[in-house]
Amino acid sequence: MVSTGRCITMVGVLFIAIAVPAIQAVPLAGGDGGVSSQHNDRLPHPPGSEPPAHAVVLFNGKDLSNWRQPDGQPAVWKVKDGVMTVTRGDIVTDETFTDVFIHVEFRTPDMPQASGQAKGNSGVYLQGRYEIQVLDSYGINLPGKGDCGAIYGQYAPLVKACKPPLEWQTYDAIFRAPRVDAAGKVTDPPRITVLHNDMVIHNNVELLGPTAGHLDANVGAPGPLLLQGHGSPVQYRNIWLIHLPLEGSDTYEPR
Ligand code: MG
């Protein structure tokens, strides 16, 4: 019996090995594998890769025309060679969103004399309320709730995925905004999945509320992307998002 089971298993493996490339090689109707291209996205997005054609590009690499300070004043971060660098203060996008797929590339500076929260600190706040920490945490074996990739103060990353300072790193986050009732009470908390340098560091975690330094607590409203100025010349580039539908449909039109 055992040998029969092994035989079936090996046949099954062989079938999969043969069949999968064959399936992948044959485009289905629509040329897109039958998957809607409107909202779908494909991973990974290595540093410097082109945004998907349907993405909303938040940073054009030339200026901060889509950005401002939280008080409405013009953003003052430095822009050069397709890269923005923190100077002072937070900046927010004009674009706001609810559920979203978002891609951000960042590079922490080399600050060997600094330590802890003073070492390459910045942050990516979804809706201006929920911070994915940016920090030089390279070499830390057990990153905590304040280290790079943490949902600041709430969740440490599942694994360490940090690259050294001066190397470009990526965040790809899938965010589901909280649902609120007519009175503004949260009925369904926000959730987030985050990939850091293509490694899953948060697996659909339920956020406990806005993190420290949040823009506002109006959690039922759409919000912008906020990048944190925290005294370190962290750099950003290639920032884009894809708005996600708030729910699926059972009436997709045939392609
Ligand atoms: Mg921070």
Residue with tokens 């940016």: 134
Nearest to 57 by CA among 25, 20, 105, 115: 105
Dist. CA 81 → ligand 1 center (Å): 24
Quick one: what percent of the chain has pLDDT higher than 70?
82
Domain boundaries, the chain: 1-35, 56-243
Residue 21's pLDDT is 37
| Interval between CA 160 and ligand 1 midpoint (Å) | 17
Report CA dihedral (101, 147, 119, 232) to the nearest 10 degrees: 30
| 127: confidence class by pLDDT, cuts 50, 70, 90 | very high
State the distance from the centre of ligand 1 to the C-alpha of 57, rounded, in angstroms: 23
Query: Cα dihedral angle (19, 25, 26, 29), rounded to 10 degrees?
Result: 120
Neighbours of ion ligand 1 (CB under 5 A): 121, 123, 133, 228
Asked if the model's pLDDT at residue 2 lies above 80, the reply is: no
DSSP H/E element including 179: strand 179-180
Of how many residues is the chain composed? 255
User: What is the whole-number distance in angstroms between the Cα of residue 46 and the centre of ligand 1?
Assistant: 23
pLDDT tens per residue across span 242-251 = 999 998 878 7
Rounded to the nearest 10°, the torsion over CA 68, 73, 74, 75 is -50
Q: How far apart are CA 12 and CA 78, in angstroms?
A: 57
Q: Does the domain at residues 56-243 carry the CATH identifier 3.40.50.970? A: no
Cβ-contact 123, 194 below 8 angstroms: no
Question: Average pLDDT of 199-218?
Answer: 97
User: How much is the average pLDDT of 43-53?
Assistant: 86
- Measured CA to CA, the distance from residue 222 to residue 127 in angstroms comes to 6
- Write the pLDDT tens digit of every residue in 144-164: 999 999 999 999 999 999 999
